[in-house]
Protein backbone atom coordinates (compact mmCIF):
# COMPACT_ATOMS: atom_id res chain seq x y z
CA UNK A 1 0.00 0.00 0.00
CA UNK A 2 1.34 3.44 -0.89
CA UNK A 3 1.80 6.22 1.63
CA UNK A 4 -1.14 8.57 2.11
CA UNK A 5 -1.11 11.78 0.08
CA UNK A 6 -3.03 13.87 2.59
CA UNK A 7 -2.08 16.44 5.19
CA UNK A 8 -4.02 17.45 8.26
CA UNK A 9 -4.24 21.21 8.75
CA UNK A 10 -4.93 22.10 12.39
CA UNK A 11 -5.82 25.60 13.56
CA UNK A 12 -6.28 26.15 17.26
CA UNK A 13 -8.38 28.47 19.41
CA UNK A 14 -9.36 31.90 18.12
CA UNK A 15 -8.04 31.30 14.61
CA UNK A 16 -11.65 31.19 13.45
CA UNK A 17 -11.52 34.96 14.05
CA UNK A 18 -8.83 35.57 11.43
CA UNK A 19 -9.69 38.58 9.32
CA UNK A 20 -11.34 40.42 12.19
CA UNK A 21 -9.18 39.69 15.25
CA UNK A 22 -6.33 42.17 15.69
CA UNK A 23 -5.71 42.77 11.97
CA UNK A 24 -2.59 44.80 12.77
CA UNK A 25 -1.05 41.55 14.07
CA UNK A 26 -2.80 38.83 12.06
CA UNK A 27 -3.78 40.64 8.85
CA UNK A 28 -7.06 40.59 6.97
CA UNK A 29 -6.97 37.04 5.57
CA UNK A 30 -9.68 34.74 6.92
CA UNK A 31 -9.48 31.12 8.03
CA UNK A 32 -11.11 30.16 4.70
CA UNK A 33 -8.24 31.98 2.94
CA UNK A 34 -5.71 30.01 5.00
CA UNK A 35 -7.41 26.70 4.19
CA UNK A 36 -7.52 27.56 0.48
CA UNK A 37 -3.83 28.58 0.48
CA UNK A 38 -2.76 25.33 2.15
CA UNK A 39 -4.96 23.24 -0.16
CA UNK A 40 -3.47 24.92 -3.23
CA UNK A 41 0.12 24.49 -2.00
CA UNK A 42 -0.54 20.83 -1.21
CA UNK A 43 -2.40 20.14 -4.49
CA UNK A 44 0.54 21.53 -6.47
CA UNK A 45 2.56 18.67 -4.96
CA UNK A 46 -0.07 15.95 -5.30
CA UNK A 47 -1.50 16.12 -1.77
CA UNK A 48 -4.95 16.91 -0.47
CA UNK A 49 -5.80 18.49 2.87
CA UNK A 50 -8.26 17.85 5.66
CA UNK A 51 -8.71 20.98 7.77
CA UNK A 52 -9.89 21.32 11.34
CA UNK A 53 -10.22 24.37 13.56
CA UNK A 54 -11.56 24.29 17.06
CA UNK A 55 -11.56 26.32 20.22
CA UNK A 56 -11.66 23.02 22.13
CA UNK A 57 -8.41 21.21 22.83
CA UNK A 58 -9.97 17.73 22.84
CA UNK A 59 -11.42 18.18 19.34
CA UNK A 60 -7.94 19.03 18.05
CA UNK A 61 -6.40 16.04 19.82
CA UNK A 62 -9.04 13.70 18.39
CA UNK A 63 -8.31 15.02 14.88
CA UNK A 64 -4.58 14.52 15.40
CA UNK A 65 -5.15 10.95 16.57
CA UNK A 66 -7.37 10.24 13.54
CA UNK A 67 -4.62 11.52 11.22
CA UNK A 68 -2.64 8.34 11.91
CA UNK A 69 -5.08 6.50 9.66
CA UNK A 70 -4.82 8.54 6.46
CA UNK A 71 -2.39 11.46 6.67
CA UNK A 72 1.29 11.76 5.87
CA UNK A 73 1.89 14.84 8.03
CA UNK A 74 0.38 17.68 10.05
CA UNK A 75 0.54 21.44 9.55
CA UNK A 76 -0.47 23.13 12.79
CA UNK A 77 -0.97 26.58 14.19
CA UNK A 78 -1.92 25.73 17.77
CA UNK A 79 -2.71 29.35 18.61
CA UNK A 80 -2.48 29.98 22.35
CA UNK A 81 -2.23 26.23 23.01
CA UNK A 82 1.35 26.51 21.73
CA UNK A 83 2.37 27.98 25.06
CA UNK A 84 0.16 25.98 27.41
CA UNK A 85 -0.70 22.52 26.14
CA UNK A 86 1.47 19.57 27.02
CA UNK A 87 -1.34 17.21 25.98
CA UNK A 88 -1.44 18.70 22.47
CA UNK A 89 2.31 18.26 22.24
CA UNK A 90 1.98 14.67 23.44
CA UNK A 91 -0.72 13.96 20.83
CA UNK A 92 1.53 15.27 18.05
CA UNK A 93 4.46 13.25 19.36
CA UNK A 94 2.32 10.16 19.87
CA UNK A 95 1.02 9.85 16.32
CA UNK A 96 4.54 9.76 14.87
CA UNK A 97 3.78 11.95 11.85
CA UNK A 98 6.02 14.79 10.71
CA UNK A 99 4.73 18.15 11.94
CA UNK A 100 5.08 21.70 10.65
CA UNK A 101 4.49 24.43 13.25
CA UNK A 102 3.19 27.74 11.88
CA UNK A 103 2.64 31.11 13.55
CA UNK A 104 1.35 34.11 11.63
CA UNK A 105 3.05 36.65 13.88
CA UNK A 106 6.59 36.51 15.17
CA UNK A 107 5.87 35.17 18.64
CA UNK A 108 9.43 36.01 19.71
CA UNK A 109 8.74 39.72 19.16
CA UNK A 110 5.63 39.62 21.33
CA UNK A 111 4.89 39.07 25.02
CA UNK A 112 7.36 36.94 26.96
CA UNK A 113 4.80 34.18 27.63
CA UNK A 114 4.54 33.58 23.85
CA UNK A 115 8.24 32.75 23.52
CA UNK A 116 7.88 29.15 24.72
CA UNK A 117 6.42 26.50 22.41
CA UNK A 118 5.51 23.03 23.60
CA UNK A 119 5.24 22.03 19.93
CA UNK A 120 8.74 23.17 18.94
CA UNK A 121 10.57 19.96 19.83
CA UNK A 122 8.13 17.67 17.98
CA UNK A 123 7.93 19.76 14.80
CA UNK A 124 10.36 19.19 11.93
CA UNK A 125 9.41 22.46 10.21
CA UNK A 126 8.97 25.87 11.88
CA UNK A 127 7.59 28.91 10.08
CA UNK A 128 7.26 31.89 12.39
CA UNK A 129 6.25 35.45 11.56
CA UNK A 130 5.72 35.15 7.80
CA UNK A 131 2.04 36.07 8.01
CA UNK A 132 -0.60 33.91 6.36
CA UNK A 133 1.75 33.08 3.42
CA UNK A 134 3.82 31.17 5.98
CA UNK A 135 1.20 28.41 5.87
CA UNK A 136 2.10 27.74 2.21
CA UNK A 137 5.80 27.77 3.09
CA UNK A 138 5.22 25.29 5.92
CA UNK A 139 3.12 23.05 3.68
CA UNK A 140 5.77 23.00 0.95
CA UNK A 141 8.60 22.32 3.40
CA UNK A 142 6.65 19.56 5.15
CA UNK A 143 5.91 17.82 1.84
CA UNK A 144 9.62 18.06 0.98
CA UNK A 145 10.43 16.33 4.28
CA UNK A 146 7.79 13.66 3.63
CA UNK A 147 9.15 13.12 0.10
CA UNK A 148 12.70 12.85 1.42
CA UNK A 149 13.97 15.82 -0.58
CA UNK A 150 14.61 17.89 2.58
CA UNK A 151 15.61 17.11 6.13
CA UNK A 152 13.36 18.01 8.99
Buried b (16+ CB within 10 A) or exposed e, 4-31: bebbbbbbbbebbebbeeeeeebbebbb
pLDDT digits (tens, 9 = 90+) for 23-75: 888 888 999 999 999 999 999 999 999 999 999 999 999 999 999 999 999 99
Residue 141 is labelled as binding a ligand:
no
Tell whether residue 114 is among the known ligand binding residues. Answer: yes
* Single pTM value for the model: 0.93
Active site residues: 26, 103
Give the per-residue pLDDT at 105.
86
Model confidence at 150, pLDDT cuts 50, 70, 90, reads low
Q: Tell whether 64 is in a known binding site.
A: no
Question: Rounded distance, CA 145 to CA 129, Å?
Answer: 21
Q: 130 falls in which pLDDT band (50, 70, 90)? A: very high
* Spatial distance between the Cα atoms of 96 and 72, rounded to a whole number of angstroms: 10
Mean pLDDT (whole number) for 4-15: 96
pLDDT at res. 23: 84
Give per-residue pLDDT as tens, 87-123.
999 999 999 999 999 999 888 778 787 778 999 999 9
Q: Half-sphere exposure (CA, 13 Å, Cβ side) for 124?
A: 19
CATH class of the domain whose range is 6-146 = alpha beta
Residue 99 CA to residue 41 CA, distance in Å, equals 16
Is 104 labeled as ligand-binding?
A: yes
**Beta-bridge mates of residue 51:** 9
Q: Residue 122 to residues 82, 92, 93, 94, 113: CA-CA distances in angstroms?
A: 12, 7, 6, 10, 19
77 is in an annotated binding site: yes
User: Measured between alpha carbons, how far is residue 68 from residues 116, 127, 149, 152 in Å?
Assistant: 27, 23, 22, 19
pLDDT at 39: 98
Amino acid sequence: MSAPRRLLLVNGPNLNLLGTREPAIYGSATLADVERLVSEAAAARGFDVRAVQSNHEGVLIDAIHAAREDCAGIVINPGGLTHTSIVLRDALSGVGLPVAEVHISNVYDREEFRHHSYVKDVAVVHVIGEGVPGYATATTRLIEVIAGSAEG
